[in-house]
Structure 1
Amino acid sequence: MCGGEGTRLADSLGRDAPEKPMYPIDGRPMVDRVLDALEASEVDQVHAAVSPATPETRGHIAERVSVIETPGKGYVTDLSTALDNIDRPVLTVAADLPLLTGCVVDSMLSAYAAIGIDGGSMTVAVPATRKDRLGVSADTVMERDAMTAELIDGRADSEEMPDRIAPTGLNVVGAPTDTNTDTMYLTDDERLVVNVNRARDARIAEALL
């Protein structure tokens, strides 16, 4: 997913900024780093969902991956448009995860398969305290007690379940059925903790490379 306007990142830079997917992390656009990870994974086909807000991104990646045009009317609408053009299940990834690797992608796909979700979807999330400790932004945080999705703890050293949970921007969306199950998969993998939404996030991502 690389069609967002990236207003939070642009505002934090305080100057003319490139499109968010094109923002360089240690000299390379974020979208290239995410594509590297997907191409190194077991994913068999990669599509990039762009919008009128990201023409530079579209031109940059058009020869590398299949491009899906979305209306640029928000993440949910753009994702729905993309899903209408792709067979499910499908892995969806935000372009603001520059620390993503092929191994991380494969481990999340394995988790989805192991859970055995029949047509349902899996949202990958991290404890919000992991973001707090790293000092990165967390714009979407959910209270565990208010969640309706089943929460599965995939952390290697499981501690007490966190009260606050932050989605990572990586999801697996299954084919719709009459018995769909929504699952929240909890990980503490640092490579999924950093979403670059502000200049400070970018600096932290570079330090962790």
Structure 2
Amino acid sequence: MGDRVTPDPSSSTVPPPASSRIPAVLLCGGRGTRLLDACEDEAEGTIDVEYDEKPLVTVGERPMVDRVLSALIEADSIGSVHAVASPHAPETIEHLEAVGRDDVTDRPEAVGRAEGIDLVVHEGTGEGYVADLRAAIETVGTPALTVVADLPLLRASHVDATVERFWTGPDVATSGSDRSVPRSLSVCVPAGTKRRLGVSVDATLGSDDRGRPLAPTGLNVVGDDGGDDDGNDDGDDGDRDEPGRRWIRDDPALAVNVNRPGDLAVARDRI
């Protein structure tokens, strides 16, 4: 089956439930040594990093994790947000817990919570992306949207479009007619797009039907197969074979994962 970047059809073999809101898992990772150590050792005085933990590094004067949280909370397709932070990132955990306690009127410049959206903070395993993702999925169940905290240009429209594609994409039929929930969906971008933007390419998800290498965005929906190797782990390099379906989005906002000082510079320039 070839990869397609075409508008979704209006019909689907697996229709979404009456209430299409699903939980979101926000994976905040750990300290982010590839970014923070490089800023300290290689880019002294040129890249301003205010915190010792990557999710709190600012883009457009807001922590990256707050930007991703805003996209999730503003999305019509998300019913709750479960933020998972490493025990190696205590300031991130403290920040998330503070955000969870605040009302939209108290911190309008930070996140703000839409009516009916809960933010639940979980301490991760400390064993990395895959272990944290598996534990979170066991807690929230499937389907669940998953996203990494180093995708600061993410918008609510990206989230809603991904959930819609999960339920109604042209490849849903390949999941099998006996499934009530489709297979997992991995959102990826052409690796060439990342290179043109000047951001790093640290992992690939095979190639499209034209042979172009694809890179993960860190935005996915975990479905019936429970796929857990479809993200953008801060410490993992190399090719991956994702367990479910791919959706190719040639969108610069989804191509900017902040892992290195150059990535941070690009993200700040595009706000």
2:189 — aligned with what? 126
Residue correspondence of structure 1 range 1-209 to structure 2 within 5 A: 1-14=27-40, 17-42=51-76, 43-63=78-98, 64=100, 65-115=119-169, 116=172, 117=175, 118-144=181-207, 161-176=210-225, 182-209=244-271
Tell me if structure 2 keeps the 8 A contact 1:127–1:162.
no
Percent identity (aligned): 43
> In the aligned structure 2, how far is the partner of 1:114 from the partner of 1:87?
20
Distance 1:87 1:142, change over 3 A: closer
CA root-mean-square deviation: 1.8
Letter in 2 for 1:72: G
In 2: Cα distance, 1:194 partner to 1:22 partner: 16
Give the structure with the larger helix fraction. Answer: 1
Give the aligned residue type for 1:187: R
- Residue aligned with 1:62, SS: helix
1:169: how far off?
Answer: 0.3
**Equivalent position SS for 1:44:** strand
Q: Shift of residue 57 of structure 1? A: 0.6
Matched AA of 1:132: R
What is the TM-score of this pair, normalised by structure 2?
0.67
8 Å Cα contact 1:100-1:192 kept in structure 2: yes
**Which consecutive residues of structure 2, in runs of 5 or more, have no partner in the other structure?**
1-26, 42-48, 101-118, 176-180, 227-242
Q: Structure 1 residues 142 and 88, CA, compared in 2 at 3 Å: closer, same or farther?
A: closer
Is the 1:122–1:184 contact (alpha carbons within 8 Å) kept by the matching residues of 2? yes
State the SS of the aligned residue for 1:14: helix
Instruction: Find the residue that maps to 1:143 and give its secondary structure.
Output: coil
Provide the secondary structure at the position in 2 that maps to 1:45: strand
Q: Which amino acid aligns with 2:84?
A: A
Greater Rg by CA: 2
**Residue type of the alignment partner of 1:86:** V
Are the counterparts in 2 of residues 3 and 52 from structure 1 also a CA contact under 8 Å?
Answer: no
Preserved CA contact (<8 Å) 1:58 1:67: yes
